[in-house]
Amino acid sequence: MAGEVGKRVASAVCMVTIIVIMSVLGRHWMQLLITILMWMMLCEWVTMNTKSASSTGLTEPPRGTNSHPLLPLTGIAYIAIPMLYWLHVAGHHKSNFMHDVMWCVAVVSACDVAAYFGGRLFGGPKLAPNISKNKTWSGAISGFAIGFAISYVFASRFVYLKANVLLCSILMPLAAILGDLLESKAKRLLDVKDSGSIIPGHGGVCDRLDSFLLTSYVVILLRLFGY
């Protein structure tokens, strides 16, 4: 348990550290950091889709690229679209970039930590046993509740149309929870445990930013509809 707690705290600290670094960098350095993160995730995704069963130490053949031929392309688009959005906003709207990124990171971190402790404390039925054997409904509800509270604080301050505050507060924690499940589902389809090994004990960049990617899509849609 201590190891899992440390992993989640370290993940949150890592994401906050990236934000702090971005806040003091000029826009060109911010764009460079985003570009590096994007290419690291894209490389991890391509590697996951080309890794053989023997290289992962698994006895079953990989199910990914053969039975799901569109998975490599959809994964690349899934990663590239939000990262290119952040790349654009970082260069042209730094203030919007900072509070939107902080919003995503705060909700993702809160959901992750609350879901872990809620699941450990209350237990109960599994959320999606075919995707992730450790996630429970109690954990998801706990993560959503805390994520909703955090999201509401940010939405109350940053959402221009106040009628949409509740909608934003609901969508962000939902996206954080679903983003984690989507990453887990993709790894099961590809028969890999982690997206990479660049972060010792944590896996790859995709493993740490899976929920962040889907919450980014929520921000993009809200921006498009003029929130």
Distance in angstroms (rounded) separating the CA atoms of residues 217 and 50: 26
With the CA atoms of 146, 110, 204 and 191 taken in that order, what torsion angle do they form, in degrees rounded to the nearest 10? -10
- Strands (DSSP E) contained in 83-157 are 126-128, 132-136
Distance in angstroms (rounded) separating the CA atoms of residues 172 and 155: 10
Please list the pLDDT of the chain residue by residue as tens digits (227 residues).
545 556 666 666 777 777 777 667 777 888 888 899 999 999 888 888 776 444 444 444 444 444 466 777 888 899 999 999 999 988 887 677 888 888 998 999 899 889 988 988 888 889 888 888 888 999 999 999 999 999 999 888 877 666 678 888 999 999 999 998 988 888 888 788 777 766 656 677 888 888 999 999 999 988 887 66
Which positions ≥6 away from 142 have C-beta within 8 Å? 114, 115, 117, 118, 119, 121, 122
Question: Is 118 within 8 Å of 144 (Cβ atoms)?
Answer: no
Give the three-state DSSP class for 134: strand
Token pair of 85 as six digits: 């959005």
Distance in angstroms (rounded) separating the CA atoms of residues 170 and 144: 8
52: left (phi over 0), alpha (psi -120 to 50) or beta: beta
